[in-house]
Structure 1
Amino acid sequence: MEQMLREVEPLIPALRRYARALVRDRASADDLVQDCLERAISRWSQRREGEVRAWLFTILHNLAVDRFRRIKTRGAHVSLDETPESEFGEAAAQDQKLMYQEVMNKLATLPEDQRAVLLLVAVEDLSYAEAAKVLNVPVGTVMSRLSRARERLQREIEGPATPLGNIVTFRSVK
Structure 2
Amino acid sequence: MSQNPDPTNPVREGAARAPLSFEAEMLALLPQLRRYSRSLTRSGEESEDLLQDCVEKALVNRAQWHGSNLKAWACRIMTNLHFNARRTLRRRPAVSIEEAETLPAPSTEDPLEKGRLQQAVQALPPDARAVLMLVVVEGYAYREVAEILGIPEGTVMSRLSRARQALREKMREENIIPLRRTQ
TM-score tier after normalising by the smaller chain length: 0.3 to 0.5
Higher relative contact order (CA 8 A, sep 6+): 2
Q: TM-score under structure 1 normalisation?
A: 0.40
Q: Kindly name which structure, 1 or 2, has the bigger radius of gyration based on alpha carbons.
A: 1
Q: Between Structure 1 and Structure 2, which shows a larger proportion of helix residues?
A: 1
Q: TM-score under structure 2 normalisation?
A: 0.38
